[in-house]
Chain A
């Protein structure tokens, strides 16, 4: 039975209203503000039109460019690690082994913890003089582990923390994908004598591509906007060595109250996220696109 388009729009109206209020209007507000010079604590605290000057400043802002680079590096390492680990764990959980249910439950626990609590927990574990990790690293290996002093350790630690926190999410999505794979092509390949890695490469991976693509997109978007857990663990330090773009924008917008410039940064970051996802989508679907 055909329903009138009006009914459809009416049913969609609440959702659209919420989206407009919480998404479209703030976006438009940020867009407008990005063309103004506006700092509450300037001698003239009123917004002043500066055209594209905020965007021009960004290109020459070494701190901003560094935070972009660090964010991209962080995103690359965490997403790659999580996808590889998550896929491997999902494959493992497709098999039977002792205490599988317990392992699955424990493995999923980090997902249930708020990022701010994850950061706090890791901070407690890594603070010199209090945390067990620096203590045992020094006691067993003589390693001076101080996130607040050594940039490489800080960066590696925030990457590890994010991998620990979000790999279970990848595992679960992969597990869902693997569980729904048709078994016939795999069985036929085995009968035809295919090796396991051939089955993986030529059958499982192509079938899993939609799940992989979705998961990678979600993780990239999350990683590009990471703030809370890194804030708790390192506060962007030492120096600015883990000041990822989300943290950098926060510092510009709140403590510095430079709203116009911070808005321009936010827009550029959004644009960058869209471009990266689009490029990735284009790359991962290129073969199918050519074939069609």
Chain B
């Protein structure tokens, strides 16, 4: 099935390519025999590039593509080492939205706006920066006239998924009503989330099924847990930007931050409390395992990265809950939704990434062609199906995308209409450094070595110490 899907996509690409065949072959003529190398995380969107788009690009241009998809940690490790050493191994690298600020601060990346302006022969006449969704703003440098440093290749929101077959089952609804005194619906409050998680865990045990109440991305030794808490849970309680005060670069309440504020403590207490209703693999789960758990029918609800939402809802070879996936916004604390609507806060994570070209690349021109190739509108619908991602405005209107949208309980519509309520990571050049300083306290809280208050107090102190080490504060 998967191979048939790939074959269909390749045929579609081959049919789509001749319209611009003259441009691609002409522009690529000086680079025949060149091989460009890229590295990315092994995710559905990147794997689609590796399996479908890169071979099609080679066919259209004669430029070979070696595209390595690996683990998230290894991807960063390899890309940063290459760019820092200037070794020129990679000609394009994946830049997650939260990493761009670090890369720009180190001047790792080629200015694409400038490069394309300087090399008109390399510019596809059909390419237009304005076709991208506002997500492209994440890859602009305000210090350089908003020039673009990465071509978006994936963008999605982390949504609340739930099992419609469970939440809409009349018998289950009646049992829930009898037990909790109110109607079972997808959670709109934290109490509902907790109650339904408790209910479905007990239901799974009664039925002899491996069914649990909720997913929790709580890997106890991996930053995925830090991300779930600070980018998805804490904002629901009104704690934004990791609780770091961006004027004073402090984290603790005592120094003007909110990392250990009462709201943050309440959020962490709630999140850790869900663990008792999560599948046993929750404490080993990153974003990938959470998606797998949900797709395997092991959880009734949870926060899942949107890049996985489409295949979970539509790919029967990989998912056992096809046709039963509901999509909704997560519950929020009082006042948080209003703040998000006013642009003063957000209710979750708008994730995604782009491909950028390292300064050390020896094949920048060929890489510029590749980056434009992936942005062609005719490639986007199949790519959206494979990876749940949309980066061009026009993709939302593609018939195929609308068809998928109907099968995914309007995930794409939700992303288009409510995407503005979500936000990417805060623009911290010290993203990895502070995360590494703070995350161990989340791990300790997950395994019960620290209470939520202790964990957040120590985390705030560690974050401030790291910010001091990095020169952001002197106290």
Contacts and interface: CB of A to CB of B under 8 A. Distances in A.
A239 B220 contact: yes
Contacts of B81: 254
Contact of B433 (A37, A41, A127): A41
A267 B437 CA distance: 22
Q: Chain B at the A interface: mostly helix, strand, loop or mixed?
A: helix
Contact of A39 (B221, B222, B440, B469): B469
A240 B298 CA distance: 28
Interface stretch (B156-164, B182-190, B254-262, B277-285): B277-285
Interface stretch (A83-91, A145-153, A200-208): A145-153
Nearest to A57: B469
B443 interface: yes
A257 B81 CA distance: 10
Interface in A226-243: 234-243
Contacts of A147: 284
A149 B282 CA distance: 9
A148 B433 contact: no
A43 B471 contact: yes
B318 interface: no
A255 B432 contact: yes
A220 to B, nearest CB: 25
Interface in B406-447: 429-430, 432-433, 435-437, 440, 443-444, 446-447
A213 to B, nearest CB: 36
Interface stretch (A74-82, A128-136, A168-176): A128-136
Nearest to A43: B471
B470 interface: yes
B428 to A, nearest CB: 9
B446 A238 contact: yes
A148 B106 contact: no
B332 interface: no
B129 interface: no
B283 A41 contact: no
Contact of B77 (A240, A243, A254): A254
A40 B440 CA distance: 22
Contact of A128 (B281, B435, B470, B471): B281
Contacts of A14: none
A231 to B, nearest CB: 9
B433 A39 contact: yes
A151 B436 CA distance: 20
Interface residues of A, number: 37
Given A43-B471, A129-B210, A146 B433 contact: no
A229 to B, nearest CB: 14
Interface string B98-125: 0000100110000000000000000000
Contact of A149 (B80, B283, B437): B283
Contacts of A37: 469
A130 B447 contact: no
A151 B280 contact: no
B226 to A, nearest CB: 12
A265 B94 CA distance: 31
Contact of B443 (A43, A239, A258): A239
A129 B84 contact: no
A117 to B, nearest CB: 14
Nearest to B466: A256
A48 B439 CA distance: 27
A45 B103 CA distance: 13
Contact of B436 (A45, A239, A241, A256): A256
Contacts of A251: 436
B221 A42 contact: no
Contact of A43 (B220, B437, B470): B470
Interface in B33-70: none
A238 B220 contact: yes
A134 B106 contact: no
A63 interface: yes
B472 to A, nearest CB: 6
Contact of B432 (A41, A151, A236): A41
Given A148-B219, A239-B440, A239-B444, A129 B469 contact: no
B392 to A, nearest CB: 32
Contacts of B97: none
Given A239-B449, A256-B436, A257-B433, A148 B469 contact: no
B293 interface: yes
Given A39-B469, A43-B470, A255 B222 contact: no
A292 interface: no
Most buried by B among A44, A134, A240, A251: A240
A129 B470 contact: no
B436 A41 contact: no
A156 B183 CA distance: 46
B278 to A, nearest CB: 11
A41 B470 contact: yes
Contacts of B106: 40-41, 45
Interface string A243-275: 100000001001111100000000000000000
Nearest to A242: B221
B194 to A, nearest CB: 20
* Residue from B430, B437, B447 having most chain A Cβ neighbours under 10 A: B447
Contacts of A128: 279-281, 284
Interface string B196-237: 000000000000001000000001111000000000000000
A146 B218 CA distance: 13
Interface in B79-103: 80-81, 84, 102
Given A45-B106, A146-B280, A235-B221, 19 more contacts: A37-B469, A40-B84, A41-B102, A41-B105, A41-B432, A41-B470, A42-B471, A43-B470, A148-B281, A239-B446, A240-B221, A240-B440, A241-B447, A242-B221, A255-B73, A255-B436, A256-B433, A258-B433, A258-B469
27 contacts: A37-B469, A41-B106, A41-B432, A41-B470, A44-B471, A128-B279, A128-B280, A128-B281, A129-B280, A129-B298, A130-B281, A147-B284, A148-B220, A148-B221, A148-B283, A149-B446, A235-B221, A236-B221, A237-B221, A238-B446, A239-B440, A239-B447, A251-B436, A255-B435, A255-B436, A256-B432, A256-B437
Interface of B: 73, 76-77, 80-81, 84, 102, 105-106, 210, 219-222, 279-281, 283-284, 293, 296, 298, 429-430, 432-433, 435-437, 440, 443-444, 446-447, 449, 469-472
